[in-house]
Amino acid sequence: MADIVLEARRVTKIYRAGEIETLALSEVDLSIERGEFSALSGPSGSGKTTLLNLLGTLDRPTSGHIFVSGEDTTEMREAQRAHLRLRKLGFVFQAYNLVPVLSALENVEFVLLLQGAASAERQRRALACLADLGLAELAEKRPNEMSGGQQQRVAVARAIASEPEIVLADEPTANLDSKTAEDLLDLMQRLNRERNVTFLFSTHDPRVMARARREIRLVDGRIASDQRRPG
């Protein structure tokens, strides 16, 4: 039986600004299984970032249901959703979203701090994670002392340090040069293979789509195609 970690059932999202309504997603059905390395693709405005935000419980659907590890998040209070995100989900954003006054080590520790891990355990796990991703020498550096690629790799370390069910990555290669982007994708693929970390990307980058073992293409807020590749 498939181990589904993330699911959307008949999800619709309508944005309202005064009397103007914009249909961003229309009755989307999608299931993501543990261990997938998948990409949401599509033109600008197709709804891929909206869907990623809904799947990550950062926003609520207008109608339909979002399930995370089998839990229906639709009627959850925001505090419950925040707790679920903390336990189950990791996020990598286009803009890195590192805390500028914290070192790389402290940024990676931050989620573990929110989870209530003891200081020594936080530091041990964060240092191990940075070392595993080839970032040990950056542990004491702040974001403004790192390149864009280094910041994004620290963001990946932060996302996986808490051992989430799934990592959601919104355009993670958008601000990176080709070599750095390829290195980052190599890293994520290694985490997927060796640790069975589940990844779902929102992207328009052909490099990401070429690496994905499944490409879910959105057009005008609907799934236009859903293709799996051997890998």
Residue numbers of the domain that contains 216: 4-99+160-228
Q: Count of domains in the chain?
A: 1
**Domain at 45, CATH number:** 3.40.50.300
pTM: 0.90
Sign of CA dihedral 206, 143, 130, 132: positive
Burial profile 18-35: b = 16 or more Cβ within 10 angstroms, e = fewer: eeeeeebbbebebebeeb
* DSSP E strand stretches across 34-115: 37-41, 63-68, 71-72, 89-92
- Written as tens digits, the pLDDT of the chain (231 aa) is 579 999 999 999 999 988 899 999 999 999 999 999 999 999 988 999 999 999 999 999 999 999 999 999 988 999 999 999 998 999 988 877 899 999 999 999 998 998 899 999 999 999 988 988 888 999 999 999 999 889 988 998 898 888 888 999 998 888 888 888 888 899 889 889 988 999 999 998 999 999 999 999 999 999 999 999 876
118 lies in a domain?
Answer: no
Token readout for 49 is: 């970032």
